[in-house]
């Protein structure tokens, strides 16, 4: 049900002809009336044109529609790209009869190539005609690039519904940059409350994902709140706030796990949980160093624990800790203890760790023994297929 | 001629039986008398036992011998490992009749496994007996692990000779951690002058190398100066200082290029040169972001320019610059201009860039347009073979 699970939204997705593959490539999400809206965007110094446009329009905290194209990222396209993003959203606004300042944009695809604007503009009317309260699946399909499956999630608490969809799956494949996520809720929210949910709940969840250490030019996570469920505005401190936040957490967590599971060439999900750091930020840095280590990622692909590589990654993270207190497990099997490879590992206990490495999801837990800081990062392995997808492509 | 090109040194390497492969695995470098000596070591928080030992003994700025074993890294081995490093160097000191405090150590191989000490100790006498002023090649061979060729280099200026050898080739292969380098000179140096050459000349050269973003537990670069060439001590400000420093630069640069050329699974050397940053450190960060990007590395493997990936890596480096001023070339062919993919790239100029990507050495030049800062990083591509070597291994 994706982005139309929540009341007050319609969506659609069509084949406009932007992708050579002929798969759906133009998508639109529309609320029945202006929504409280918030988003977080890539920190890359070369943000794509639609990122610049959406960030600017969201200064008001309100939006009613999001136009998404796949096939061209509209990144590194300069003033022409900025003009294209304006023209595309203007056309959508006209078709929807809403104020252009309420229409946001997202793009994903080849960096540097301009969008074929005539093709896109020709698609706006049929796209608007396809909008439906059941259009969430078509929307989720049309935003994908190298994704092998659409990613959708829903959650409900009290009388509120929250839904969403995302596409991945790394900085990504054949130049097809981007992680995009769209979350909708029918809870009534102020712009400030929507912003609090994005930065407080959704952002940390999406930041915990690392496919190939690459921050794309287009990454965006949007939240639109229609208020269609009725009732009083929900805000921090409201009786229902925690429940509403937990719907965001459920949807975000599910989408991120689906993204990790569909990583380019990925055959395993790698979950790294670090405890005992001086601060949460330190714990996340250690977890990220492990999840992004090419040696750990190839070890996960190969199904062999190689605890020395985990130790090496911890030690190169730059985070302060006492090496003699460090421990680690793979699938709850101790492999590092007191800063050394656990002697039992070479004596046979390695077999249990080796079995844990064959699971679809491989869990590495690290204890630094220094403080209360905790962090969790979700990643994937590094396979032949990753090299094939990203190495055999020709622009 | 390696480490015995300079006068005043003998070296040797033998099969002690530490490696299952039966290849040479125990090496010794000895000076005729105590030398000025200096070294730089890994910044990993889990330094190997021989790193701890050598760093401690080098506090005096003097050393006479270095014992090296390959097969076991003696890292993450705790107090047992520290004791083993002591016993090994004590045995070498006794065989050489030198003070144990003048004997340094280096190890490379599997992390976490103890050295089979009886095997090592049984090798000390035959190793000492094999020492020769022509033993540099045997030494260079015995320190290797997954290296396909030994790396040796020599340089001479005035009446001074400088030589060296190194092994790689990444954090590295099947748990075989480490980059080790040994440089000798017969110029007369004080400990302070030796230290100045290591930190001022050799360290920046070796720091410019990145194979797989992984800092091993054992990385070490040693310099021993025998003074056997005679004459007055050379020191900063001496008439010959620049000449002597240039021998270090030649040897270091050659070794680093050989290491990049023998990177695990590598089929191309990737040279990234960044200019126009606010500071040199910023330029190196941008260069490193490009050289370590898995998307750029797979693009180099695939032989396709993919300039969007270079742009993405620049933009995610965290370094401040004006995006509109950024340019980049591949093999001197412009691919990014004014912060955009150069329109000519898609119009046909891409062919020239594509040809440049097929060269053994691929040169990416980036201009940030912000300031005078420059930096250079040497890397390699990411291939199927890298995944095979590191993924198919079983501990």
CB pairs under 8 A between A and B: 213
CB atoms within 10 A of CB A98: 18
Please indicate whether, in this complex, the C-beta atoms of A390 and B298 are within 8 angstroms of each other.
yes
Contact B106, B3 (CB under 8 A): no
Please indicate whether, in this complex, the C-beta atoms of B76 and A304 are within 8 angstroms of each other.
no
Please indicate whether, in this complex, the C-beta atoms of A323 and B387 are within 8 angstroms of each other.
no
Residues in A closer than 8 angstroms to B76, CB to CB, are: 308, 311, 336, 339-341
Considering only CB atoms, B175 lies closest to which of A177, A306, A345, namely A306
**CATH code of B380's domain:** 3.10.20.340
Q: Do A138 and A82 share a structural domain?
A: yes
Q: Do B161 and B295 share a structural domain?
A: no
Residues in B closer than 8 angstroms to A305, CB to CB, are: 395
Residues in A closer than 8 angstroms to B336, CB to CB, are: 76
Contact A289, A317 (CB under 8 A): yes
The answer as to whether A328 is a domain residue is yes
Burial label for B52, CB within 10 Å (0-12, 13-18, 19+), is middle
pLDDT recorded at residue A216: 82
Q: Do A68 and A37 share a structural domain?
A: yes
| C-alpha triplet B168, B174, B177: angle, nearest 5° | 40
Considering only CB atoms, B395 lies closest to which of A75, A306, A323, namely A306
Residues in B closer than 8 angstroms to A304, CB to CB, are: 393-395
Instruction: Identify the closest residue of chain B to A81 by CA–CA distance.
Output: B340
Contact B251, B183 (CB under 8 A): yes
pLDDT recorded at residue A174: 36
Contact A260, A379 (CB under 8 A): yes
Contact B139, B16 (CB under 8 A): no
Q: Do B288 and B238 share a structural domain?
A: no
Mean pLDDT lowest among A267-271, B106-110, B157-161, B262-266: B262-266
Residues in B closer than 8 angstroms to A175, CB to CB, are: 306, 308-309
pLDDT recorded at residue A392: 77
pLDDT recorded at residue B174: 36
DSSP B70-127: EEE---S-HHHHHHHHHHHHHHHHHHHTS-GGGEEEEEEEESSPPP-HHHHHHHHHHH
Q: Do B146 and B38 share a structural domain?
A: yes
Render each residue's pLDDT in chain A as its tens digit; 395 residues.
799 999 999 999 999 999 989 999 999 999 999 999 999 999 889 999 999 999 999 999 999 999 999 999 999 999 999 999 999 999 999 999 999 999 999 999 888 889 999 999 999 999 999 999 999 999 999 999 888 899 999 999 999 999 999 998 764 433 445 799 999 999 999 999 999 999 999 999 998 887 776 778 899 999 999 999 999 999 999 999 999 999 999 999 999 999 999 988 889 999 999 999 999 999 999 999 999 998 899 999 999 898 999 999 999 899 999 999 999 999 999 999 999 999 889 888 889 999 999 999 999 999 999 999 999 999 999 999 888 888 876 54
Chain A closest-CA separation from residue B189 CA (Å):
33
Domain end point (choices B242, B261, B280) = B261
Please indicate whether, in this complex, the C-beta atoms of B215 and A306 are within 8 angstroms of each other.
no
CB atoms within 10 A of CB B221: 25
Domain end point (choices B192, B226, B261) = B261
Q: Identify whether B60 is a catalytic site residue.
A: no
Burial label for B59, CB within 10 Å (0-12, 13-18, 19+), is exposed
Please indicate whether, in this complex, the C-beta atoms of B391 and A312 are within 8 angstroms of each other.
no
Residues in B closer than 8 angstroms to A171, CB to CB, are: 295, 309, 312
- Rounded to whole angstroms, how far apart are CA atoms B296 and B309? 6
For testing the chain A interface, which of B42, B45, B285 should be mutated: the one with the most A CBs within 10 Å? Answer: B45
Q: Do B81 and B41 share a structural domain?
A: yes
Q: Do B85 and B38 share a structural domain?
A: yes
* pLDDT band with cut points at 50, 70 and 90 for residue B386: confident
Chain B closest-CA separation from residue A389 CA (Å):
9
CB atoms within 10 A of CB A325: 14
Considering only CB atoms, B298 lies closest to which of A213, A391, A394, namely A391
pLDDT recorded at residue A170: 60
Q: How many domains does chain B have?
A: 2
- Among B118, B59, B128, B60, CA closest to B87: B118
Chain A closest-CA separation from residue B248 CA (Å):
27
For testing the chain B interface, which of A315, A357, A381 should be mutated: the one with the most B CBs within 10 Å? Answer: A315
Categorise residue A196: left if φ over 0, alpha if ψ from -120 to 50, beta otherwise.
Answer: alpha
Contact B173, B392 (CB under 8 A): no
Three-state SS for chain A is CHHHCCCCEEEEEECCCCCCCCCCCEEEEEEEEEEEEEEEECCCCCCCHHHHHHHHHHHHCEEEEEEEEEEECCCCCHHHHHHHHHHHHHHHHHHHCCCHHHEEEEEEEECCCCCCHHHHHHHHHHHHHHCECCCHHHHHHHCCCCCCCCEEEEEEECCEEEEEEEECCCCCCCCECCCEEEEEECCCCCHHHHHHHHHHHHHHHHHCECCCCCCCCCCEEEEEECCCCCCCCCCCCCCCHHHHHHHHHHHHHHHHHHHHHCCCCCCCEEEEEEEEECCHHHHHHHHHHHHHCHHHHHHHHHCCCCHHHHHHHHHCCCCCCCHHHCEEEECCEEEEECCEECHHHHHHHHHHHHHHHCCCEEEEEEECCCCCEEEEEEEECCCHHHHHHHHCCCC
The answer as to whether A264 is a domain residue is no
Q: Do A292 and A189 share a structural domain?
A: no
pLDDT recorded at residue B176: 43
Please indicate whether, in this complex, the C-beta atoms of A171 and B312 are within 8 angstroms of each other.
yes
Q: Which distant-in-sequence residues (6+ apart) come within 8 Å of A67 by Cβ?
A: A26, A27, A28, A88, A89, A92, A103, A104, A105, A106
Q: What is the pLDDT of residues B205-222, one digit of tens each?
A: 998 887 776 778 899 999
For testing the chain A interface, which of B82, B297, B312, B381 should be mutated: the one with the most A CBs within 10 Å? Answer: B312
- Among A71, A218, A211, CA closest to A146: A71
Domain end point (choices B232, B261, B290) = B261
Write out the residue range of the structural domain in which residue B141 sits. 2-261
Please indicate whether, in this complex, the C-beta atoms of B214 and A321 are within 8 angstroms of each other.
no
Please indicate whether, in this complex, the C-beta atoms of A313 and B339 are within 8 angstroms of each other.
no
Q: Do A231 and A303 share a structural domain?
A: no
Q: Do A139 and A37 share a structural domain?
A: yes
Please indicate whether, in this complex, the C-beta atoms of B393 and A43 are within 8 angstroms of each other.
no
Instruction: Identify the closest residue of chain B to A386 by CA–CA distance.
Output: B298
- Rounded to whole angstroms, how far apart are CA atoms B132 and B111? 31
Residues in B closer than 8 angstroms to A218, CB to CB, are: none
Please indicate whether, in this complex, the C-beta atoms of B390 and A295 are within 8 angstroms of each other.
yes
Please indicate whether, in this complex, the C-beta atoms of A390 and B299 are within 8 angstroms of each other.
yes
Q: Do A155 and A28 share a structural domain?
A: yes
Residues in A closer than 8 angstroms to B110, CB to CB, are: 308
Tokens representing B34 are 């105590």
The answer as to whether A302 is a domain residue is yes
Residues in A closer than 8 angstroms to B346, CB to CB, are: 112-113, 395
**CATH code of A178's domain:** 3.60.70.12
Q: Do A362 and A315 share a structural domain?
A: yes
ipTM entry: 0.86
Please indicate whether, in this complex, the C-beta atoms of A383 and B391 are within 8 angstroms of each other.
yes
For testing the chain A interface, which of B282, B308, B327 should be mutated: the one with the most A CBs within 10 Å? Answer: B308
Considering only CB atoms, A294 lies closest to which of B78, B212, B299, namely B212
For testing the chain B interface, which of A75, A216, A308 should be mutated: the one with the most B CBs within 10 Å? Answer: A308
Residues in B closer than 8 angstroms to A388, CB to CB, are: 384
Contact B307, B366 (CB under 8 A): no
pLDDT recorded at residue A302: 93
Instruction: Identify the closest residue of chain A to B72 by CA–CA distance.
Output: A308
Catalytic residue among B4, B89, B144, B178: B178
Place of tokens 């889990």: B46
Chain B closest-CA separation from residue A139 CA (Å):
26
Please indicate whether, in this complex, the C-beta atoms of A339 and B75 are within 8 angstroms of each other.
no
- Among B256, B211, B177, B216, CA closest to B381: B211
Q: What is the pLDDT of residues B163-191, one digit of tens each?
A: 999 998 765 433 445 799 999 999 999 99
Please indicate whether, in this complex, the C-beta atoms of A171 and B46 are within 8 angstroms of each other.
no
Mean residue pLDDT across chain B = 93
Please indicate whether, in this complex, the C-beta atoms of B45 and A346 are within 8 angstroms of each other.
no
């Amino acid at each position: 049900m994706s982005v139309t699970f929540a009341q007050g939204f319609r969506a659609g997705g069509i084949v406009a002809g932007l992708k050579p593959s002929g798969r759906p490539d133009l998508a639109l999400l529309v609320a029945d009336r202006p929504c409280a809206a918030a988003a977080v965007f890539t920190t890359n110094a070369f943000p794509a044109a639609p990122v610049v446009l959406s960030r600017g329009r969201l200064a008001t905290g309100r939006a009613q529609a999001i136009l998404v194209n796949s096939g061209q990222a509209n990144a590194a396209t300069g003033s022409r790209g900025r003009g294209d993003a304006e023209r595309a959203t203007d056309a959508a606004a006209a078709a929807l009869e809403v104020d252009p300042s309420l229409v946001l944009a997202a793009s994903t695809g080849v960096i540097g190539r301009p969008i074929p604007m005539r093709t896109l503009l020709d698609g706006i009317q049929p796209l608007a005609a396809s909008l439906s309260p059941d259009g969430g699946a078509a929307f989720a399909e049309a935003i994908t690039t190298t994704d092998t499956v659409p990613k959708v999630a829903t959650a409900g608490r009290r009388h509120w519904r929250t839904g969403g969809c995302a596409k991945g799956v790394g900085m990504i494949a054949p130049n097809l940059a981007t992680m995009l996520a769209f979350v909708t809720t029918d809870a009534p929210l102020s712009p400030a409350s929507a912003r609090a949910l994005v930065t407080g709940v959704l952002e940390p969840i999406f930041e915990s994902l690392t496919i190939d250490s690459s921050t794309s030019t287009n990454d965006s996570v949007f939240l639109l709140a229609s208020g269609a469920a009725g009732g009083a505005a929900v805000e921090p401190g409201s009786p229902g706030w925690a429940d509403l936040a937990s719907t965001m957490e459920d949807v975000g967590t599910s989408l991120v796990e689906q993204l990790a599971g569909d990583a380019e060439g990925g055959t395993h999900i790698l979950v790294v949980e670090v405890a005992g750091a001086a601060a949460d930020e330190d714990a996340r840095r250690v977890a990220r160093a492990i999840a992004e280590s090419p040696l750990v990622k190839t070890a996960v692909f190969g199904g062999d624990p190689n605890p020395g590589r985990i130790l090496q990654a911890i030690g190169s993270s730059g985070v302060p800790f006492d090496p003699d207190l460090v421990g680690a497990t793979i699938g709850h099997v101790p492999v590092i203890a007191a800063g050394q490879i656990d002697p039992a590992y070479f004596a046979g206990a390695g077999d249990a760790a080796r079995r844990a490495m064959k699971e679809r999801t491989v869990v590495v837990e690290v204890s630094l023994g220094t403080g209360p800081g905790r962090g969790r990062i979700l990643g994937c392995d590094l396979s032949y297929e990753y090299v094939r997808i990203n190495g055999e492509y020709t622009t």
